[in-house]
Amino acid sequence: MTSALDHIRQKLGTEPRRIGFMGFGWGDRLFPIPASLRGLTPNDEPMLDTLLRQKDIWRGGRIVWGFIVMANEALYLPGKNDLPGDVVYSLSATDEDALEKLPQVAKALFEAKVAEKELSDFPEDQRGMVEHLRQETDRAFGLAVPHSMRRSLECHVSSFWAHRAHLPDEALGGRLVPLLVLAGKVHDVLIIPASYWPSDLLIPWQQRVKERVVRRGFSEERLAQQKAWLEVIERDGPPAPWTDATPESIAGDWAGEFEREIPGEHGASLPTLMTRQEWHFEADGRCTLVLTMQPMNNGEPIGEAPSFDAEQEGWFTIEDGVLTVRWGGDDARQTTLTIISSGEMFDGELFWLRRTHQPSHEERASEVTDGGSTIYRHKPRAAPTFAPPDMSESNLQAIDDHVAEHIGKIENVWHEIVSDIVHIDVHVVPPRPERPYYTLVTSGMSDLPMNAPEGAEDWKFAELMLCLPPDWPLTTEAFKDERNYWPVRWLKTLARFPHEYETWLSVAHTIPNGEPPEPLADNTDFAGFMLVPPLTTSVEFHELLVPPLRTIHFHALLPLTAAEMAFKLKQGADALMERLEKAKITELIDLHRKSVV
């Protein structure tokens, strides 16, 4: 990350910088006085002095790392208003020392701000800093961090005014920021605009912002769904119970979540309380409940807010689909659940409980076709929540090298900004004379093992690929049209599919677009896919060995018509492959090819 600051220094040059001539050349460097500050004087808002000195800061400011101590909460989501915050930085530390120690200093400063201590209880040298941090409308311009709080790093705190257009995705996606610091009698700081940031600083920031937007959206959606559900219950009454339910039929693990909005005026924030119930039922009538309550804000746990956890044991009986739990032998303490089906329960007010694990492959198998294909019915993971991926086991670089060796040099990688469960990227190899078409290969699907059945353990790790004609539009603008984007959409969807549904994908599996299958887009009759070994590559490309002794299998997505999928179910995968091979059909998509059936 230290090279990121060197990249910015190279782009901006050393101070004093010569920028502009007779008012020209400043480009997007300067930003206007925010509407909320117009009509005020520096006596009303001291930050106005900094904003009026922007040109001086750009010409003479030092480029250093800063770490945000605190900021207006609304800055953590995209919005329109420019807002303030405080940042800690060092003018004397090396970039390496700043990266290591500034987060520790910022943490110590924030902990002092929120500590349940009177100002007089702090050491005398810390009181000025703590008083500033606790008065959130106070401004600092080079306030020295006390020796006892600075981790042997000479550093200062200054207030900044964040200009939305200068932040990636118009929000704070991180706390580490590149700064311009003009150090005179006072310190003036500006966050360097994102247009000067290198990609290794920019992309994680953007991903974090988009994750926050997604989490906030999930929270809003949960609240809306729960409100609508309660209205239905109030209007129509609760769902009918499953009267054939027995202890054996509901034995196992169940879970449910309910999010409740905390009333009051909270500005741009959405504070909620997330309550989760995790149940375990035994066939002999014993049960346990683990209850967790977590304060949330904008769909994320509030770090400094403690959660509440409790566990209790009891006994249950079932009568006419109604499950009654008695706690600790005390009949006065009861909980009642309505059993809706073998996979759903309702507590009559708030909680909708579902099983927390997918059924086995055998349980999911609904039928075997005449052609010997087993049809599986899948449901999304129980009690779904947004789960950012752990990329510590990423095979991205190994896959990149493998593709370059066996297919060709990668021209572009479409990075996924917001990821759920696994981070799916698409590697693009452009056409060339010996391979005159695009090749698209995923990475990220193999970061987690698939839920392969017994006997198929060697096929737990996979990636997907397909090929597109050389004239296929692959621009961001072109992808706004589903007729251009559907191959990429399905690559990414199917790469995440086995992890979302706790299943697996392998050779000869077919995935229809709905039931009955519908066209993938309005420019094609293809209505699904079959996984096949790549037919346009060498056999050496089909497998990649990565540590620790994992084999990644590369499968090609071969689009099929509805008639071809029906033929495969009736006659078997081998019979369909024989026809496809005879017609010389590969994973290179041809919108005009005729069905082989």
Residue-wise pLDDT tens for the chain (597 aa)? 558 899 999 999 988 988 765 445 677 789 999 988 999 999 999 999 999 999 999 999 999 999 999 999 899 999 999 999 999 999 999 999 999 999 999 999 999 999 999 999 999 999 999 999 999 899 999 999 999 998 899 999 999 999 999 999 999 999 999 999 999 999 999 999 999 999 889 988 988 888 888 788 888 888 887 888 788 888 888 888 999 999 998 999 998 888 899 988 877 789 999 999 999 999 999 999 999 999 999 888 887 677 789 999 999 999 999 999 998 765 668 899 999 887 789 887 777 888 876 555 555 545 556 666 656 555 554 444 555 555 556 788 899 999 999 999 999 988 876 667 788 999 999 999 999 999 999 999 999 999 888 888 899 999 999 999 999 999 989 999 999 999 999 999 999 999 888 889 999 999 999 888 999 999 999 999 999 999 999 999 999 998 877 899 999 999 999 999 999 988 999 999 999 999 999 999 999 999 999
Q: Which two tokens stand for residue 122?
A: 């702090």
Residue 534 contacts residue 541 (beta carbons within 8 Å): yes
pLDDT at 23: 46
How many angstroms separate the Cα of 142 from the Cα of each of 98, 160, 197? 16, 11, 24
The total of other beta-carbon atoms located within 10 Å of residue 352's CB is 17
pLDDT at 434: 93
pTM: 0.62
Q: H-type helices in 28-94, by residue range?
A: 47-52, 54-60
The rounded distance, in Å, linking the Cα atoms of 404 and 427 is 10
pLDDT at 3: 81
Residue 459 contacts residue 449 (beta carbons within 8 Å): no
The rounded distance, in Å, linking the Cα atoms of 217 and 212 is 8
Residue corresponding to tokens 């090279």: 3
pLDDT at 395: 83
Cα Dmax for the chain: 86
The rounded distance, in Å, linking the Cα atoms of 407 and 463 is 15
Nearest to 313 by CA among 339, 292, 290, 344: 290
The rounded distance, in Å, linking the Cα atoms of 513 and 125 is 67
Write the DSSP symbol of residue 536.
S
Residue 71 contacts residue 138 (beta carbons within 8 Å): no
Encode burial over 68-83: b for 16+ CB neighbours within 10 A, e otherwise.
bbbbbbbbbbbeeebb
- Tens of pLDDT, residues 143-198: 999 999 988 999 999 999 999 999 999 999 999 999 999 999 999 999 999 999 99
Which residues, other chains included, contact 340 with Cβ-Cβ below 8 Å and sequence gap of 6+? 239, 240, 241, 242, 346
Domains of the chain, earliest start first: 2-197 (no CATH), 238-356 (2.40.128.360), 391-582 (no CATH)
